[in-house]
Amino acid sequence: MIKKLRIMIGTNKKNILALTFIFSSLLVLASTQFPPWDVPVEANDLENPITVDKKNLDAGKAFFDLSCKACHGATGLGDGAVPSGDFTTKAFTGQTDGAIFWKIQQGRGLMPSFKAVQETSLWQAITYIRTLAAPQEIVAMKNATIVIEFDESNSKKLITAKVYETLENGEQAPAKEVKVNFFIKRYFADMLIGGSNNYTDDNGSVSISFPEGVPGKEGKLQVMAKLDDSGFNPAGLTEEVAWGVEKAAYWNDDRQLWKNNDFVPLWLLISFFGVIGGILIAILYVLLQVVKIRKLGVGR
């Protein structure tokens, strides 16, 4: 077998050259290009049902950042976690929205299938992806400040953020149609409340109702309002409010299975170290016997 291989490869230099060529071209292919997709004609002709506007673009960006950015990179160059093609090339932008939609739903290789996701989200993502290729017009980012107000007067807990943009003359004016997200600070990630679709009204203010029953130490919660808008520099504000509920069980010193090593249940502590201790004592005893055996043989 090996001999045969040698005859095949070793005696013919042309073969080696050919093999090298094939292998290297395969490598190059594998690293830079994906095979073309067979997009069905009906899918190709499908039209994007949504309008290109700020809300849809914002939603598309939010969805892209959440579900696609990790692999495709923040700017869609395919420079994320896995090589995944460039969204800014002619080859990509030349295709119809329908074709892109079909590919996203279908998936291939490391590209997951997004069939289970609402179609609107995918269309919004496509609308947003399209803007990645267009050279960004450079707009001067505006500055804004946020004020948070808490209102409990109508037996309903309402949280309001007021956004004021700083005008060129230094004055403050209410900022209209600006997207604001609200969060409650948690141990790990921040918890989004009130959905991700809140825009300021004509007075520059936006309100959401505050969720009931969020646990917090002594009922205190850290609430954040963050500006999430392409026309503004990032801005945010954190305020404390005692609208949470104290959950005594969260903070007590009971011994529990799920807690850390300082709160191991006693029965577990005793059985664990009891068993280990018992075994170690037995082993130690035996080792002592071994030492004795050794001593007994000295000088004989």
Partner 1 sequence: MSAETTDIQKTGRSLKEITSDLLNPIRSKKSSVSLWTMLLVFIIIIGVYAYIYQTMTGLGVTAMRDYTSWGMYIGHFVFLVAVSLVGSLVTAILKLLEIKWAAPITRIAEIIAVAAVALAAITIVLDMGRPDRVLNIFLHGRIQSPIVWDVTVVNMYLLISVILLYLPMIPDIAIMRDTLTDRPKWQRKMYKVLALNWRGTDEQWRLLKRSIRIMLIVIMPVAFAIHTVTSWLFAVNSRAGWDSTIFGPYFVAGAFMVGAAAVIAAMYIFWATKPAYKKYITSKHFDMMGRLLVLTGLVYLYFNVNEYLVPGFKMQKLDGQHLMDLFVGHEAPLFWATQIGGLILPVFLLCFKKFRKPLPIFIISIFVIFFAWTKRLLIVIPTLLTPTFPIQNVPESWHHYIPTYYEIAITSMTVALVLLIITWFTKYFPIIPIWEMAKENGHDNPHEKVVLDDIEKD
Nearer to ligand HEC, 95 or 160 (CB): 95
CA angle (284 as vertex; 282, 285 as ends), nearest 5:
65
Contacts with ligand HEC by CB under 6 A lie at 34, 67-68, 70-72, 82, 84-85, 92, 100, 103-104, 108-112, 114, 125
Provide the 3-class DSSP secondary structure of residue 219: helix
Provide, rounded to whole angstroms, the least separation between the CB of residue 188 and ligand HEC: 22
Q: Is 14 in the site for partner 1 (CB under 8 A)?
A: no
List the alpha helices (DSSP H) in the chain: 2-10, 13-32, 41-45, 54-67, 69-72, 90-93, 97-106, 119-133, 248-251, 266-296
Q: Is 294 in the site for partner 1 (CB under 8 A)?
A: yes
Q: Please report how many Cα atoms fall inside a 13 Å half-sphere around the Cα of residue 275, on the Cβ side.
A: 5
* Binding-site member from 46, 77, 117, 148 for partner 1 (CB under 8 A): 117
Bridge-based pairing of strands 221-227 and 236-241 is antiparallel
- 272 interacts with, out of ligand HEC, partner 1, none, CB within 5 to 8 A per kind: partner 1
- 34 interacts with, out of partner 1, ligand HEC, none, CB within 5 to 8 A per kind: ligand HEC
- 265 interacts with, out of ligand HEC, partner 1, none, CB within 5 to 8 A per kind: partner 1
Nearer to partner 1, 153 or 261 (CB): 261
What are the DSSP calls for 55-123, one per residue? HHHHHHHHHHHHHTHHHH-TTSSS-SSS----TTSHHHHTS-HHHHHHHHHH-BTTB---TTS-HHHHH
Nearer to ligand HEC, 112 or 174 (CB): 112
Q: Cα-atom radius of gyration of the chain, to the nearest Å?
A: 32
* Binding-site member from 64, 87, 101, 114 for partner 1 (CB under 8 A): 114
Residues facing 191 on adjacent strands:
184
Nearer to ligand HEC, 70 or 279 (CB): 70
Nearer to ligand HEC, 111 or 133 (CB): 111
- 268 interacts with, out of ligand HEC, partner 1, none, CB within 5 to 8 A per kind: partner 1
* Binding-site member from 10, 12, 40, 107 for partner 1 (CB under 8 A): 107
Distances (CA, A) of 110 to 84, 107, 189: 8, 8, 27
Smallest Cα–Cα separation from 179: which of 222, 138, 131, 231?
Answer: 231
Provide, rounded to whole angstroms, the least separation between the CB of residue 49 and ligand HEC: 16
Binding region for partner 1 (CB under 8 A): 67, 107, 109-114, 116-117, 257-261, 264-265, 268-269, 272, 275-276, 279, 282-283, 285-286, 289-290, 292-298, 300
